[in-house]
A and B are shown apart, each in its own frame.
Chain A
Amino acid sequence: MLLGGGVALAFLWAPEDGDQGISQRIFYIHVPVALTAYACFGWGAWKALRHLWTREERYDLESYTAIHQGTIFGLLTLVTGSIWARASWGVWWTWGERQLVLFLILFLFYSAYFMLRYSVDEGPGRANLSAVYALFGVALIPVSFLAIRLAEGFIHPTVFTRDGPQMTGTMFTAFLVCLAGVLALAAALYTNELTGKRLDGRLRELRELLS
C-alpha cells in the first residue's frame, strides 16, 4: 500500500528533473531499495552477533532470513542502477558509480555466504560459521566503500554527479514515502519467510517424531 502510494507520488506529484527527465524517476525506487538492502545486511549481522552471544538457535534463522532478503534487494539495486545508468549515461555498467560497484562486491560476498551455508551440515557448527561470516560482511561494507574511493585514484573514471540540483520539498517527500514503502515491503517479506521457515522446521521435527 505504502509502496503503491509512493510510486504514484513519484510519478505524478514530484516535479521532473530538468536534465534527466523521466528516467530520473527510477531514483525513487533505486535508492530506497539500496538503503533497504543495507538495512537487511545490518539486521542480519546484528542477529548473528546476538546468536554468538546467546547461542540461541532462533537468531541463526533470523540472521539467515535477513541476509537472504538483503541479497534479493541488493540484486534489485544492481538491476535498477544498471537501468538508470543506461538511461542517463548510455551505458549499462560503469565503474565510476561507487554504489553499484560496492553492491557488486557485496553481492559476490553474500552469494558466498549461501555457498557456505549449503555446503556445511545443519547444526550449531553451521550456525556459528554463518554468523561469523555475516559479521565479516558488515565490516566489509565500509572497507570496500573506502577501497572503491581509493581506486578512483588510479582507475580514472569519468565522474558523474548524482543529484546536481538539490531535491525539492515534494521530491523529498515522495522519496521518503518510497523509502518507507520499500522498508515495509522488506519487513513483510522477512516475517513471511521467517514464519514459513519456522513452520518448515516444526514440520520436520514432527515428522521425525512420527517416524
Chain B
Amino acid sequence: MRYLADAAALARKDLLLELRGRETLPSMLLFVIAMLVAFRFALTDEGAEAADGLLWVAIVFTALLGLGRAFVAEREQGLLDGLVLAPCDRSAIWLGKLLATLAFLVAAEVIALPAFALFFDSLLDGGTLLAVLLADIGICAVGTLLAAMAVAGRARELLLPLLFLPLAIPIVVGGVGATVAADPGRYLGFLALYDIIFAILAWGTFEYVVTE
C-alpha cells in the first residue's frame, strides 16, 4: 500500500506542476491537431483509407512529445538525485511518472480522437478505443523508462525518438490491426501481451537506470 501511495504522490506532484505551469498538455494538443490537419492534406482521395494508420502515427508522435518533457523538470532542478535518495522503492518513481504521462496522453486523446473522427469522417468503434487505451499504457510504460535513459545522455532530445521508435513498431502493428480488422480480438490480445512484457521489464530495470 505504501508503494502505491508513493507512486500516487509522485504522479500528483507532476499533475500539480502541469496545472500551475500549463506547459506540456497544451503543446501536445496543438501538436496532434496540427498533425491531423497536415495528414488530411497528405492524403489524396484514393488514399483516404490510410487515415486509420495515420491516427496511430499521430498517437505515437504525440506521446513522444509528452515523454520528451517527462523528466525535464527533474533534470533542470537536479531533482532526480533527491528522488532516488528518498526512502521509497525506486520503481515507484517509474510508476508515478507513468501515471502522470498516461494522464497527459489520455487527456490529449480525449480531444484528438473526436477531432480525428470529424476530420476524416470515420467512426471510432469500441475496439479502436480499447486498443488506444492499451497502446497508451504500453507507450507510457516503455517511454517513461527510455525518457529517464535519454536525459542521461548528451543529445537527449535526439536520443529519445531513436530509442523509442523501434520499440513502438509492435504497438503500431497492434493498433492499426485493431482499427482495421473486422475482429480485433487477437490484436487487442497482442497489445495486452506487449504491455505485460514490457511493463514488467521496465518495472524491474528502472532502478538501474537512475542509480549508478
How far is A108 from B154 in the complex, measured between Cα atoms in Å? 20
Chain A interface residues (CB < 8 Å from chain B): 52, 105-106, 108-109, 111-112, 115-116, 119-121, 123-126, 128-129, 131-133, 135-136, 139-140, 143-144, 146-148, 150-151, 153-154
Chain A residues within an 8 Å CB radius of B77: none
Chain B, interface size: which category? 35 or more
Q: How far is the CB of A188 from chain B (nearest CB, A)?
A: 29
Chain B interface residues (CB < 8 Å from chain A): 142, 145, 149, 152-156, 158-159, 162-163, 165-167, 169-170, 173-174, 176-177, 180-181, 186-187, 190, 193-194, 197-198, 201, 205, 208-209, 211-212
How far is A154 from B152 in the complex, measured between Cα atoms in Å? 39
How far is A108 from B166 in the complex, measured between Cα atoms in Å? 6
- Contacts A132-B145, A153-B187 given; 5 further ones with Cβ under 8 A? A132-B209, A136-B142, A139-B197, A147-B169, A150-B173
Question: Are B153 and A116 in contact, with the CB atoms below 8 A?
Answer: yes
Chain A contact surface mostly: helix
Number of A-B residue pairs at CB separation under 8 A: 98
How far is A2 from B82 in the complex, measured between Cα atoms in Å? 56
Question: Are A146 and B190 in contact, with the CB atoms below 8 A?
Answer: yes
The 5 closest A-B pairs by CB, nearest first: A119-B153, A109-B166, A147-B170, A147-B173, A128-B208
Question: Are A129 and B209 in contact, with the CB atoms below 8 A?
Answer: yes
Question: Are B181 and A154 in contact, with the CB atoms below 8 A?
Answer: yes
Question: Are A124 and B212 in contact, with the CB atoms below 8 A?
Answer: yes
Chain A residues within an 8 Å CB radius of B198: 136, 139, 143
